[in-house]
Amino acid sequence: FHFDGEKEVILFPQSENKNLYKVPHSLITHESIDFSNPDYEKWPALKKAEGFKTTLSHGEVLYMPEGYWHYMKYNTPG
């Protein structure tokens, strides 16, 4: 559940691993990537990444399938 404010959520299926700059032998991507405003000169493969983007508001729920990469950013305090 999302309790207050607004949160931006971006999801990517595992088929997009090749475009997400996954850290080798780990379950994370590079922390320096701002997925809400990516630097395509520094991270050019992100142009090819196909995912799903939404904004959650108070009381909304989002199902995230197992294995999906996710990025979350609070747009307002929450």
What pLDDT is recorded for position 31?
A: 80
What pLDDT is recorded for position 42?
A: 93
- In what order do the strands lie in the sheet containing 52-56? 52-56, 7-12, 69-74
Across 55-74, average pLDDT: 89
User: How is residue 29 annotated by DSSP?
Assistant: B
When pLDDT is cut at 50, 70 and 90, the band that residue 1 belongs to is low
